[in-house]
Amino acid sequence: MLRTSSCILKLTRVVLSHKPCALFTLIFVFVALAYHKLYWGIGEDPKSSVPTSGLSAEMSCAHYVPSALNMAGGPSPSTGNVFFVETSEQTAPSYLFSCSVESAARTHPASRVVVLMKGLAKENVRLPKHWAFSLLSCFPNVEILPLDLKELFSGTPLKRWYLWPLRQWEPHFLPNLSDACRIVLMWKFGGIYLDTDFIVLKNLQNLTNALGIQDDHELNGAFLSFEAKHKFMELCMQDFVQNYNGWVWGHQGPELLTRVFKKWCSIRTIKSMSCKGVSALAQEVVYPIPWQDWEQLFEAVSALELQKLLKNTYAVHIWNKLSHGTKLEIPSQALLAQLYSQFCPATYAKMKQD
């Protein structure tokens, strides 16, 4: 500020000793400085300025977060983490991403909901300015953190796999990386893993050492729930490396889990069952809409039909790989629109606003 004052003083002397047109320059400088200070808040304590990213921080949090979660002391002691992982560099979450995390936070108020994102700089303490980060930060049990892949894979069979220099040039590198992250997270820390295209309807904590059946032939790893250091997850890590094939989509994901479960239970066909402490959940539990029928998500259903459809369902997988390009009318009676409205109302309000 001292340097600025000195410059203004010198400029004033020049104006008084030169042509009147220089007076216009001085006035312009003063106006520009005043505007700059007013707009950017120069001289204020930087700690006091909170980026709102399209949401009024205090008002929107008070409005969107339910009273059961909006506690002065934060969430109650953890009953196990709920993990989400973003392995790409993107830092602009979609509505579905936001809904997934919000629905998990609402249904698991006593758990840490941990969102790990590769695109976040480890040294940056502030999240990027984006409405989804502002909205999700309203939930006291949500943590959005950088994903350090070297640290995650350290001490596991997947460390050498990840460090191979040409790995990132494989055709299915990102899906395979996501598959690797989820099984390592389950083995190292335990808890629940969910893809970012799930809408959670009920608390999942009682589904322990479990994964879901997606169809008559395969299991799917979009939902996993395991205790830390579980032998099943250890076998998954070993199979990932020993039978690795980066050129076949799904070989390291659904096919891997299916291979390991068949060996684990000594069976040839997949069915809803529990053996040696690991459960294959019926399709309706977390995959009530088969991937072949994903378009049902965009069809209108009555409230009664919705209730009947989701009677025994804990979460709904939206199959974003197939459905992401389909337009969703908001508001509407479409199944997906009703799921947004009921289970992630803050995200739904933002969708209506936009």
Contact of 197 with 320, CB cutoff 8 Å: yes
Mean per-residue pLDDT for 243-254?
95
pLDDT digits (tens, 9 = 90+) for 189-245: 999 999 999 999 999 999 999 999 999 899 999 999 999 999 999 999 999 999 999
**Residue 5: pLDDT above 90?**
no
Q: Is 20 left (phi over 0), alpha (psi -120 to 50) or beta?
A: alpha
Percent of the chain with pLDDT over 90: 74
Q: What is the pTM of this model?
A: 0.81
Q: Alpha-carbon torsion 70, 72, 78, 84, what sign?
A: positive
- Distance of alpha carbon 72 from alpha carbon 65, whole angstroms: 13
Domains of the chain, earliest start first: 78-283 (3.90.550.20)
**Amino acid found at 52:** T
pLDDT in tens, 110-149: 999 999 999 998 777 789 999 999 999 999 999 999 999 9
Distance between CA 264 and CA 276 in Å, rounded?
8
Tokens of 2: 């001292």
